[in-house]
Amino acid sequence: MEPVESLFRRESGRMVAALTRVFGVHNLLLVEDVVQDAFCRAMEVWKFRGMPENPSAWLMAVAKNRALDVLRRERTARTFAPELTRLLESEWTLAPILDEQFGPDAIKDDVLRLMFSCCAPGIAEDSQVALVLHMLCGFSVDEVAGAFVASHAAMEKRLTRAKKVLTQSAQLFDIADATEFSRRLPVVQRALYLLFNEGYHGASSEFAVRAELCREAIRLAALLHAHPLGSTPGTDALAALMCLNAGRLPARTDSAGDLLALADQDRTKWDRTLIDEGERLLQQSARGPELSAYHVEAAIAWVHANAACATDTEWSKIVKLYDMLMAIRPSPVVALNRAIAVAQVEGPESGLKAIEAIENRDRLAKYPFFPAALGELELRAGRPSSARQHFQEALRLARNPAERRFLQQREIACAH
C-alpha cells in the first residue's frame, strides 16, 4: 500500500503533524521551514551515501534535532504549543518530551489531531480536503491544484485562507475529548470521502495522481479507524467503500491510460487483497443500528466487485441499494447512477424515463457523464443519431484528455 516513491510525501505529513504539536498551530510557517530543511538535508546526504536502512526514523531524527535547536534558540522570542509550554521551558524536560513527542505512537495521534483541526467548522468543505492533502499528504500547492484541476493562484488563495483559520485557532483539536471527537467525526469522514472520490471520479487525467489520492484517503481512513473513538461502524463502512472501489481501480484505464467502460474492463486486474479487506470491513460495519450512506455505497461497490462480468452483475440489487441511498442522501448524481442501473434491469427506455424524472437535473449541466449516459441509452435504444448529439454535448464538457478520448470513441461507435 505504501510504495517507496511516496516515502517523502508520507513522511512530510508525519513531520508536519509532530512539529505542529510541539511548536503550536500558530507557528505553521516555522513548521514548514523545518520540514523543508529536513528534506533538503536528506536529499543531499542520501544522494551521495544512499538511503539509510530506516529512512523514516532518519528524517524524524533530523526534524527532532532541528526542533530542539529552534526551541532553545527562540524560547524567549516566541511562544510554542500552549499545552506543552511548561515542559518545553525547562532543560530538564525539553529533550525527554521531544523524544516522547517524536515516538511512533505519539505521531499517529498528532496526525489525527491535525486531521481533525483541518476539518474545523470555519473552513469550507472543499478547502478542508485541499488542506488535508497539503498538510497531511505532503502535496505542494501546485500538486494540490493539479489534483483538483484548479489554477495555482486559485488553490493558493484557498489554502492560504484555510491555513489562516487553522493558525488562528488557539490550539490543535483535542482528540481526548470524546464528545467533541464524536461531533467532528462525520466532518472528518466526509473530507476523507471527498478526497477518495476526487481520486476515483475526479477531473485529473493523470492515473498516478488519482491512484495516489485514493491511496492517501485509504491510509488516513485506516489511521482514523485505528483510534478507539474513530472506529465506528460508519468509519468501517467508509474504509470498506474505499477498499472495494480502489480494488477495481487498476482496471479502469487501459495500457495507454485511457478510460474503459465498465463492460470493457479486464477484471483479472482487480486487486483482490484490497477487495477482500473491503469485504471484511463491510461485514464489520454491520455491528450496530447505524446505516449511513457509506454503508450503502460500500454495498454497491461490493455487488460490483463480486460480479464475474458486467452482465453477471446483480443489477436489481444495485437498483434497490440506490433507492436506499436516495432515501439517505439524495443527489442528482446518485439518481443518475440509479437510472443507469434501472436501464440494465428494465432496458434503455426505462432508464431514459428514470433520467427524465431526476429532480434538480440542471445541477448535472456541467457533468460530462450526464449527456454521456443519455447517449449510451439512446444508442442502446437504437437511435444512433440522437445518441451522437448527446456524446457531442458530453465532449464539450470533458474535463481532461482521457475523458475526451473516451467520449470520442463513444461518438464514433454511433456511426456503426
> Which residues contact another protein by CB under 8 A?
5-9, 11-12, 36, 39-40, 42-50, 138-140, 142-143
Residues 6+ apart with CB under 8 A from 187: 119, 121, 128
Nearest Cα residue to 262 out of 204, 154, 341, 185: 341
- Residue with smaller CB distance to another protein, 6 or 231: 6
d(CA 208, CA 176): 36
Residue type, 199: G
- What's the closest the beta carbon of residue 260 comes to another protein, in angstroms? 27
Q: Least separation, in Å, of the C-beta of 253 and another protein?
A: 21
Q: Which residue shows C-alpha cell 461497490?
A: 301
Instruction: Indicate the residue among 40 and 178 with the shorter CB distance to another protein.
Output: 40
Distance, CA of 270 to CA of 347 (rounded, Å): 28
Q: Go through the chain and tell me how many residues it has.
A: 416
Q: What is the DSSP string of 366-388?
A: T-THHHHHHHHHHHHTT-HHHHH
Task: Report d(CA 373, CA 220) in Å as an integer.
Answer: 33
Q: Smallest distance from the beta carbon of 35 to another protein, in angstroms?
A: 8
Alpha-carbon distance values, 168 to 172, 180, 385 (Å): 10, 19, 58
- d(C-alpha 310, C-alpha 315), whole Å: 9
Q: Which is nearer to another protein, 139 or 294 (CB)?
A: 139
* Cβ at position 10, least distance to another protein in Å: 8
Q: How far apart are CA 120 and CA 392, in angstroms?
A: 42
Classify burial at 90, counting beta carbons within 10 Å of its beta carbon; exposed 0-12, middle 13-18, buried 19 or more.
exposed
Instruction: Give the residue with the Cβ less far from another protein, 68 or 209.
Output: 209
Could you tell me the smallest distance in angstroms from the CB atom of residue 330 to another protein? Answer: 38
Q: How far is the CB of 63 from another protein (least distance, A)?
A: 13
Cβ closer to another protein: 145 or 319? 145
Please tell me the distance from the alpha carbon of residue 369 to that of residue 371, in angstroms, as a whole number: 6
Task: Give the residue from 196, 191, 189 showing the smallest Cα distance to 129.
Answer: 191
18 contacts 56 by C-beta, under 8 angstroms: no
Find the shortest distance in angstroms from Cβ 101 to another protein. 21
Least separation in angstroms between residue 219's CB and another protein is 15
Q: Which of residues 48 and 92 has its CB atom nearest to another protein in the complex?
A: 48
Contact 24, 80 (CB under 8 A): yes
Count how many Cα atoms sit within 13 Å of the Cα of residue 351 in the half-sphere of its side chain: 26
Closest approach, Cβ 40 to another protein, in A, equals 6
Nearer to another protein, 145 or 377 (CB): 145
Is the CB of 46 or the CB of 288 nearer to another protein?
46
The cell for 377 is: 441509452
For another protein, give the closer residue by CB, 8 or 270: 8
Q: Measured from the CB of residue 44, what is the shortest distance to another protein in angstroms?
A: 4
Q: How many CB atoms lie within 10 A of CB 263?
A: 9
Q: Which is nearer to another protein, 106 or 141 (CB)?
A: 141
